[in-house]
Amino acid sequence: MKLRNAFSLLAFLVICTAQADVAPVLKTFPADVTSLQQTARQFLAGKLPPATAEDEREITLAEPDARLQLAACAQPLEGFWPANARQSGSTVVGVRCVGTPGWQVFLPVRIQEWVTVVVASRPLRPGERLLAADLQLQRVSRDQLRGNPYRDPAALVGSVTRQAIAAGQTLSDQQTCQVCKGDSVDISAADSGFKVVVKGVAEGWGNSGDRIPVRNLGSRRTIRAEVVTAGQVRVSL
């Protein structure tokens, strides 16, 4: 009887040890597709700037491979950008289990963004001074944008094209100048109680907020001045 009880106890211990060595495993996909995709979407929502009425976004997230089997994670799943991953267009987003057992999955994602920017309403030649009729707003894929595109057509009126621009092409600060090299400009300097305006000539190209070299026609000195708008710059006293 004692020998039988000893064998029964030994068998019980073997079963318990075997069960303890088996790591818990999540159900195979597609049962866990939702949790992985939710983690990826929450990560993207926190990392990408919010969409607005002028900026639209569409995210298409691929489903994980249905053949994957992943060990259960004791911690909440975590989203991340893989090294050198783009944050727009066709890219990948990672979902990982931090700690033990530790694993990571990469999900293909397509991030399409559209922004409303100023484009040319007709073909433009280099050196043309822009009128309101030359400009219009258009919805453009962010992938197609270069430089710093304009959002407000009024900010471009009076600017000069620095290169040929096709109809429908986005207008950026690299293609235009509110003050161009050789332009006659008014140089203003103001302090509390008084303002002085003198004539000058631009010796560089710039748009609103840029600082460019300008030659004062009165003193013949070259100074750096901030572009205010077409034909106007200012210096600080």
Give the separation between CA 181 and CA 206, rounded to whole angstroms: 8
Domains assigned to the chain: 24-113 (no CATH), 114-176 (3.90.1210.10), 184-236 (2.30.30.760)
Site of tokens 């893989």: 82
Dihedral in degrees, nearest 10, Cα atoms 156, 157, 160, 164: 70
Give the separation between CA 172 and CA 45, rounded to whole angstroms: 28
Q: Is 175 left (phi over 0), alpha (psi -120 to 50) or beta?
A: alpha
Mean pLDDT computed over 49-57: 74
Give the separation between CA 27 and CA 66, rounded to whole angstroms: 11
Mean pLDDT computed over 140-163: 87
Flag whether pLDDT at 6 surpasses 80.
Answer: no
Mean pLDDT computed over 157-178: 92
Task: Convert the pLDDT of each residue in 9-42 to its tens digit.
Answer: 333 333 333 333 434 444 333 336 778 888 899 9
Residue 53 pLDDT: 66
